Amino acid sequence: MKKILAMACALLMATSLAACSKPAEQPVDNGGDDKPTENQVLKVAAFKGGYGEVWEPLARKFEETHEGVTVELVTSPKLDEELRPQLQAGDYPDVIQYNIGQPSGFTETLIKEDALLDISDVFADPAIKDKLADGFADNAITAPYGDGKTYLAPMFYSPCGLWYNKALFGEGGYALPETWDDMWALGDQLKSENNGVSLFTYPVKGYFDSVLYALLNQAGGDEFYGKALNYDPETWTSEPGKLVLDTIGKLVSEYTAPEASANANSGNFKMNQQAVLDNTVLFMPNGNWIIGEMGDAPRAEGFEWGFMPMPAFEKGGARYSYTFFEQMYVPKEAANPELAKEFIKFMYSDEAIEIMLNNKTEEGAPSIVVQPVKGIVEKLDGDNKLIYSIYETPNTFPALGGFAATDSIEGLELKPVVFGPIDTILEGTTTVDEWQTQLTDAFVKFHAALK
C-alpha cells in the first residue's frame, strides 16, 4: 500500500492510481438537498456498449435525488454518428459519455476544436477530490491540453494486462513468466513441444495500447513516460523507447499465433480471444470486459481466468498495468452546464456506484461497472476482485493517461502510425526499424502540433 501511495505522489503528469487505498468513505454531495432545481431538462447522451441498460436506472436515480429535473436520456451503439449532425445543427446534449480512441475520432475532434467545458471545479469539490482515486483527474486524457485543467471526467475503469488460463500454470503446468526473458523461454518451450500452442495473440492491433503504454512507463520511468505522451521527438531513438519497440517486435514476429492478423478485425477478433479459451494460445492483452464478452463462449475443461501485468525487463524489476477508463464531458454549448456538472458529481455518489456494481447485461448476466474511487476493491469479489487488486501485488504499478491532443495534421493520424504496423510486423512485411523510423518522423510533427 505504501508503494502505491508513494507512486501517486510522483505521477502528477500522466500516471497515477491508488485504486486499492482504503481511506474512510466520504459521502458525495449530489446536489439534491441544498441545490434545488425546478423544471429543468438535462440531456444526457451515452454510448451503449457492453454494460447493458445501466444508464436508465442512473438517470432515474438522478431525477429522484434532484427534484424538478427530468433526464432526457439517449443511448446508442452509434452515438457518434447520431450526434455529429445534431451538433452541426447547434443541438448539443448537456452531458456526453463517449470515449477517445474510437475509429471516428468523435471526442478527439471536440478536443481539437476546443469544444469542451472546463470542469475542474467538479474535481476541486472536496467530496469528489477526496473520493476519486489519485491521478484520474490529472492525466493526459482528462486534462488533454496540459494546462492543469480537467475537461473529461474519468468513468468506468479497468486495469488492462495479459489474460491467460490459470489452470495451465503452477504445479504440474507452465511457470508463470515474471520477466520478458521468462516469456521468451516459455515461447521457445512451446515451439520445441510442437503441439500447436502459441505464446501470444491479440484481438485487434489497437489492443496494443495497453502493452505500449505499460512498457513505456516500465522502460523509462515516470518522466520519460510523460515526455513520450507529449511526443518527445527523441522517444523512439532513446534506449527505453528502442527497448519497448524491440520487445513488442520480438513478441509479435517470433511468438504470436500466425493467424492473429487475419482475425484481427471487427468481424473475427473473437476468434483470437477464443484461442485462449481453447488453450491454443497462452496470453492475450485485454481488459475486464473480456469476462462478459466471452461469457457464453465454449472453453477448455477447468478453464479459469488469470490476469497479470506486463513482465518485467529484469528480475525483480517494476511491472506495469495500463489502466483503461472511459470519459464523460460537457460541451461548451450545453444549455445546462451547472446541472451537467451535478450529474457528473452524482456519477461518483454511493447511490450511483451501487447501481453500477449491481448492473446486468440485457440478457441478465452480471456486468459490473467499476468507478475509479478509493475503497472500491473491498466491494468486489471473484474474478473482479482478482483484476482490480492487481496494483496490490508486489512491484506492480499503474500506467495512466494517453497521448496528448494535437491540432489536425493533414494526412497523419496517430493510431495508424503507432499501431498500424503490428499486423504487418507479424506478416513479415514491416521491420521494427521501419516502425521506429515511422514513429520518429511522426512524433516530430505531432510535437509541433501540440495544442
| Model pLDDT for residues 18-77, shown as the tens digit of each residue | 333 333 334 444 444 444 446 899 999 999 876 768 999 999 999 999 999 999 999 999
> What is the C-alpha separation between 16 and 222, in angstroms, rounded?
10
Q: How large a percentage of the chain has pLDDT more than 90?
A: 70
Q: What is the homologous superfamily of the domain 2-9+18-159+325-379 according to CATH?
A: Periplasmic binding protein-like II (3.40.190.10)
> What is the C-alpha separation between 263 and 300, in angstroms, rounded?
21
The angle, 0 to 180 degrees and rounded to 10, between the axes of the packed helices 432-448 and 239-255 is 140
pLDDT of residue 26: 41
Reduce the secondary structure of 311-343 to three states and give it as a string.
CECCCCCCEEEEEEEEEEECECCCCCHHHHHHH
Signed CA dihedral, 56, 100, 147, 208: sign only: positive
- C-alpha cell recorded at residue 435: 516502425
For residue 215, how many C-alpha atoms fall within 13 Å in the half-sphere facing its CB?
A: 26
Which residues, 6 or more positions from 67, have their beta carbon under 8 angstroms from its beta carbon? Answer: 32, 36, 37, 38
In the predicted structure, residue 8 carries a pLDDT above the cut 50:
no
> What is the C-alpha separation between 388 and 376, in angstroms, rounded?
9
pLDDT of residue 38: 63
Lowest-confidence segment of 1-15, 82-96, 327-341 by average pLDDT: 1-15
Q: Where are the domains of the chain?
A: 2-9+18-159+325-379, 163-322+404-448
pLDDT of residue 312: 97
Which residues, 6 or more positions from 33, have their beta carbon under 8 angstroms from its beta carbon? Answer: none
In the predicted structure, residue 214 carries a pLDDT above the cut 90:
yes
In the predicted structure, residue 184 carries a pLDDT above the cut 60:
yes
pLDDT of residue 289: 82
Distances (CA, A) of 257 to 209, 227, 423: 19, 33, 11
Average of pLDDT values for 232-254?
98
Band (pLDDT 50/70/90 cuts) for residue 425 is very high
In the predicted structure, residue 154 carries a pLDDT above the cut 60:
yes
pLDDT of residue 15: 35
CATH of domain 163-322+404-448: 3.40.190.10
pLDDT of residue 132: 92
- Report the chain's mean pLDDT, rounded to a whole number: 88
- C-alpha cell recorded at residue 398: 499503474
List, for residues 257-316, the tens digit of each pLDDT value: 999 999 999 899 999 999 999 999 999 999 888 988 898 899 999 999 999 999 999 999
Distances (CA, A) of 196 to 111, 184, 187: 46, 17, 12
Q: Do domains 2-9+18-159+325-379 and 163-322+404-448 have the same CATH topology?
A: yes
List, for residues 99-149, the tens digit of each pLDDT value: 987 778 899 889 989 999 999 999 999 999 999 988 788 887 898 887 889
Band (pLDDT 50/70/90 cuts) for residue 318 is very high
Reduce the secondary structure of the chain to three states and give it as a string.
CHHHHHHHHHCCCCCCCCCCCCCCCCCCCCCCCCCCCCCEEEEEEEECCCCCCCHHHHHHHHHHHCCCEEEEEEEECCHHHHHHHHHHCCCCCCEEECCCCCCCCHHHHHHHCCCECCCHHHHHCHHHHCCECCCCCCCCCCCCCCCCCCCCEEEEEEECEEEEEHHHECCCCECCCCEHHHHHHHHHHHHHHCCCCEEECCCCHHHHHHHHHHHHHHHHHHHHHHHHHCCCCCCCCCHHHHHHHHHHHHHHHHHECCCHHHHCCCCCHHHHHHHHHCCCEEEEEECCHHHHHCCCCCCCCCCCEEEECCCECCCCCCEEEEEEEEEEECECCCCCHHHHHHHHHHCCCHHHHHHHHCCECCCCCECCCCCCECCHHHHCCHHHHHHHCHHHCCCEEEECCCCCCECCECCECHHHHHHCHHHHHHHCCCCHHHHHHHHHHHHHHHHHCEC
pLDDT of residue 367: 81
Looking at the DSSP assignment, which residues form a beta bridge with residue 155? Answer: 326
Q: State which of 1-5, 15-19, 164-168 shows the largest mean pLDDT.
A: 164-168
pLDDT of residue 50: 67
* One-letter identity of residue 332: K
Find cell 457518434 and name the residue.
80
> What is the C-alpha separation between 104 and 236, in angstroms, rounded?
27
Band (pLDDT 50/70/90 cuts) for residue 82 is very high
In the predicted structure, residue 245 carries a pLDDT above the cut 90:
yes
Q: State which of 11-15, 35-39, 164-168, 290-294 shows the largest mean pLDDT.
A: 164-168
